[in-house]
Chains A and B, each alone.
Chain A
Amino acid sequence: MEPVGFWGHLVEIAPYTGYVYPNETAIPWTVLIVVYPYLTGLVAGAFTVSSLYHVFGMERFKPVGQFALLTALAFMLFVPLPLLLHLGHAERAFNTMLTPHWTSAMAMFGMFASFYLLLLMLEIWFMFRPYAVRKAQQTSGFIGRLWHLASLGSDDLSAKAMRYDEKWIFALAVVGIPSAHGLHGYVGFIFGSLKSREWWSSDLMPVVFLFSAIISGVALLIVLYVLSCRLRKIPVDLACLKGLAYVLWGFAMFTLALEGLEFANIMYKGREGIEMIVQYVTGPLLVPFFILQFSLGAVIPITLLTYMIWRGTTGKALIAGVTVSALLVLFQVWMMRWNVVIGGQEIAKTGKGLLTYQMVLFHKEGLLTAIAVAIAPLFVLLAMVRVLPPWSAGAHAHQRSVS
């Protein structure tokens, strides 16, 4: 018999009621695996907003068009981190790329994520190429050489080159839409494709994940945009904000409908183990699902947005209302991720028992790590907008005429 090691003592053992398989008492996926789809979702959502501007030509989103791309990148850079922290052997993570097992949703995710990250970086590179070229010309010394390197040693800003760039940007943005959304739909598939858990095993799971991703990303942009205006001491572009509010409002209602459908499906079909699910939903899930996710996170912001759109609210009231709604939606999606990832594991595979996940504070997979990972992209974004100012007129796509 092997002695119980260091992590073995620290990893929390879940208390349970009813009958659960002995091996289930150690919950495999922790709060970090809640952070992971949350971050991925923010990426997909932020990218959606940038697409609205770059592909669909919605001029009102111009103030956030490029900022959305940088936000997506900042968060995308941190998507692998919670996974790596969670792995038992992070140093072997590249095995998924060396010998990807094609039937595994997770191996596919690695490929998708790398592709999307590359695409995102390319699009941003094209977008900021004129800026980099100008910087390379203006700056001297080491920094100048870095800018030179970043522009691949070419200072070609001719009309022909710019036309080339525009084609690339458009193509990348078009490919980016299915990529970003496919990526996040895939995260839903990671959960939805498992037949071992009734709570996850749903065909709707990828779609639910996708739409909740979009609203979380839009909400994040609203909050960050309002915040950035405060920091830059410029007025909030109300048309842009209202546009974002419309997107949030529409998708939030759609998400709510999808989640309701999925929930109804599980309950109505009432397959094996439904008694435990009912017991779970009416017990431990009451507060996190019905009160926090559903009421506070979904119904209140939707009502608030509906009211403001109906009354034509504007000015400071609109800014405050939309920001509050966005914060609530961000919270809703966090709770949704939590209720899916943790909730699925709290319902025992036996169908005859419930577990309680015990989150620890100080641990490789504890709450503090999770918070750090979730907040870190914001600091990276802060640095990013210093280097590549997404609001400056020098950037590429601002000159692009959209019909």
Chain B
Amino acid sequence: MTNPSDPSGKARREFLRRLGGVAVACTGAAACSVAPQSGGPVAGPDPSPVKDYDWTKHHWAFGVDATKCIGCLRCVEACKTENDVPGDAHHFNTWIERYVYLEGETKARIDSHHDPVNIAASGSEKEFRFANRYQDAKVEKAFFVPKLCNQCTHPACVQVCPTGATYKSKDGVVLIDDKYCIGCQYCVQACPYGARYFNPTKGVTQKCYWCYHRITKGLRPACVEACPVGARIFGDRNDKQSPISLFIRNNRVQVLRPESGNEPNVFYVGIDKEVS
């Protein structure tokens, strides 16, 4: 049991202050019902928890144009660096999938950079590269699909979190409080997209959060910044001329697994029936 916001020095005084509050509540009201939901007095109204940024004024969204993706994996590299993602082949905030239909085959062959063949091509689990494994095959149709957290409108992961360590921000991003997460991994199970993973070193769950530390400073997410071909689109839906608003307006977009009821906020163009 920890009180993450309380450095131990202040804890005692704070406790006495709160205890006084209880006493007042008990003498003042007939029923001594403490309402812990108030969470103690909060100093003044605070419209936004982030400095110099009003989270009620934004509505972030993400677009993926799979017809542009070249599978260079610079986004994965950038993301791993930007967000302290464990440097191995089992933990990714974002990843790229490759779908290849060979002549005479009806099912796509799917792989990602965590496949041993691709790790062999890159040289290590800390580098990312798609092996040119189909260069001698007769490829009928093939493409890459970037994946990341969908920051769903009805996130299954938030629904199942027992503590409130993961939540939906007012500007549309699902965040994780890594000082509050108990590491039960229920959210990892609940996400139908495989976007979440458990960080065994930190003992908490992690996932893509659209580089919340960047977008609240006016920067784009690291993967968008790194994409050399503009396959990743990011912006504010409240701004009708933002790249994402234009992307959604000018394309027939779709989302992954709409039947899950999660209402994802990553909009795709150019994916195929096998992509889910």
A interface residues with partner B (beta carbon < 8 Å) = 1-8, 11, 13, 18-26, 28-29, 83, 86-96, 98-101, 103-107, 110, 190, 193-197, 272, 345, 349-352
Give chain A residues whose Cβ lies under 8 Å from the Cβ of B180.
92, 95
Please tell me if B243 contacts chain A, counting CB pairs below 8 Å.
Answer: no
One of B1, B201, B204 near A94 (C-beta < 8 A):
B1
Q: Are B201 and A8 interface neighbours, CB within 8 A?
A: yes
Q: Are B84 and A89 interface neighbours, CB within 8 A?
A: no
List B residues 50-93 near A (Cβ within 8 Å): 80-81, 84-92
- Report the nearest B residue to A5, measured CB to CB: B201
Q: Are A349 and B194 interface neighbours, CB within 8 A?
A: yes
Q: Are A22 and B112 interface neighbours, CB within 8 A?
A: yes
A100–B36 CA distance with the chains assembled, in angstroms: 12
One of B97, B186, B200 near A8 (C-beta < 8 A):
B200
Give chain A residues whose Cβ lies under 8 Å from the Cβ of B191.
196
Chain B nearest CB: distance from A82 CB in Å?
12
Q: Are A352 and B110 interface neighbours, CB within 8 A?
A: yes
Chain A nearest CB: distance from B249 CB in Å?
30
Q: Are B91 and A23 interface neighbours, CB within 8 A?
A: yes
- Given A4-B86, A23-B92, A83-B184, are A194 and B197 also a contact pair (CB < 8 Å)? no
One of B2, B84, B91, B111 near A92 (C-beta < 8 A):
B2
- Report the nearest A residue to B109, measured CB to CB: A19
Give chain A residues whose Cβ lies under 8 Å from the Cβ of B90.
13, 22-23, 25-26
Q: Are A349 and B95 interface neighbours, CB within 8 A?
A: no
Q: Are B203 and A88 interface neighbours, CB within 8 A?
A: yes
Give chain A residues whose Cβ lies under 8 Å from the Cβ of B160.
103-106, 193-194
- Report the nearest B residue to A109, measured CB to CB: B162
Please tell me if B164 contacts chain A, counting CB pairs below 8 Å.
Answer: yes
A193–B189 CA distance with the chains assembled, in angstroms: 11
User: Told that A5-B201, A23-B188, A190-B186 touch, could you supply 20 new A-B pairs with CB distance under 8 A?
Assistant: A4-B201, A19-B110, A22-B114, A29-B185, A88-B181, A88-B184, A88-B198, A88-B199, A88-B200, A93-B182, A95-B180, A96-B163, A101-B163, A103-B160, A107-B162, A110-B162, A194-B156, A196-B260, A272-B276, A351-B276
Q: Are B189 and A2 interface neighbours, CB within 8 A?
A: no
List B residues 128-187 near A (Cβ within 8 Å): 147, 156, 159-165, 180-186
- Report the nearest B residue to A106, measured CB to CB: B162
One of A6, A89, A103, A105 near B181 (C-beta < 8 A):
A89
Q: Are A87 and B182 interface neighbours, CB within 8 A?
A: yes
- Report the nearest A residue to B163, measured CB to CB: A95
Q: Are A25 and B112 interface neighbours, CB within 8 A?
A: no
- Report the nearest B residue to A344, measured CB to CB: B189
Chain B nearest CB: distance from A146 CB in Å?
28
Give chain B residues whose Cβ lies under 8 Å from the Cβ of A107.
162-163
A2–B162 CA distance with the chains assembled, in angstroms: 27
Chain A nearest CB: distance from B190 CB in Å?
5
Chain A nearest CB: distance from B176 CB in Å?
12
Please tell me if B196 contacts chain A, counting CB pairs below 8 Å.
Answer: yes
Give chain B residues whose Cβ lies under 8 Å from the Cβ of A18.
110
Q: Are A2 and B186 interface neighbours, CB within 8 A?
A: no
A91–B180 CA distance with the chains assembled, in angstroms: 10
A2–B201 CA distance with the chains assembled, in angstroms: 9
Q: Are A19 and B111 interface neighbours, CB within 8 A?
A: yes
- Report the nearest B residue to A8, measured CB to CB: B200
Chain A nearest CB: distance from B254 CB in Å?
16
- Report the nearest A residue to B112, measured CB to CB: A22
Chain B nearest CB: distance from A99 CB in Å?
5
Give chain B residues whose Cβ lies under 8 Å from the Cβ of A86.
184-185
Please tell me if B126 contacts chain A, counting CB pairs below 8 Å.
Answer: yes
- Given A22-B89, A87-B182, are A350 and B163 also a contact pair (CB < 8 Å)? no
One of B91, B156, B184, B260 near A87 (C-beta < 8 A):
B184
Q: Are B201 and A7 interface neighbours, CB within 8 A?
A: yes
Q: Are B189 and A106 interface neighbours, CB within 8 A?
A: no
A50–B198 CA distance with the chains assembled, in angstroms: 41
Please tell me if B270 contacts chain A, counting CB pairs below 8 Å.
Answer: no
Chain B nearest CB: distance from A128 CB in Å?
31
Give chain A residues whose Cβ lies under 8 Å from the Cβ of B199.
2, 88
One of A25, A26, A89, A195 near B192 (C-beta < 8 A):
A195
Please tell me if B12 contacts chain A, counting CB pairs below 8 Å.
Answer: no
* Most chain B CB inside 10 Å of its own CB: which residue of A23, A83, A196: A23
- Given A22-B92, A88-B200, are A350 and B183 also a contact pair (CB < 8 Å)? no
A29–B189 CA distance with the chains assembled, in angstroms: 9
A110–B195 CA distance with the chains assembled, in angstroms: 26
Chain B nearest CB: distance from A111 CB in Å?
10
A189–B27 CA distance with the chains assembled, in angstroms: 43
* Most chain A CB inside 10 Å of its own CB: which residue of B181, B189, B195: B189
One of A3, A4, A22, A104 near B194 (C-beta < 8 A):
A22
A-B contact pairs, 18 of them (CB 8 A): A4-B88, A19-B97, A21-B95, A22-B113, A25-B89, A83-B184, A86-B185, A87-B184, A88-B183, A90-B182, A91-B1, A92-B182, A94-B1, A95-B162, A100-B163, A107-B162, A190-B186, A194-B189
Chain A nearest CB: distance from B216 CB in Å?
22
Give chain B residues whose Cβ lies under 8 Å from the Cβ of A11.
200
Q: Are A89 and B114 interface neighbours, CB within 8 A?
A: no
Give chain A residues whose Cβ lies under 8 Å from the Cβ of B198.
26, 28, 88
- Report the nearest B residue to A352, measured CB to CB: B110
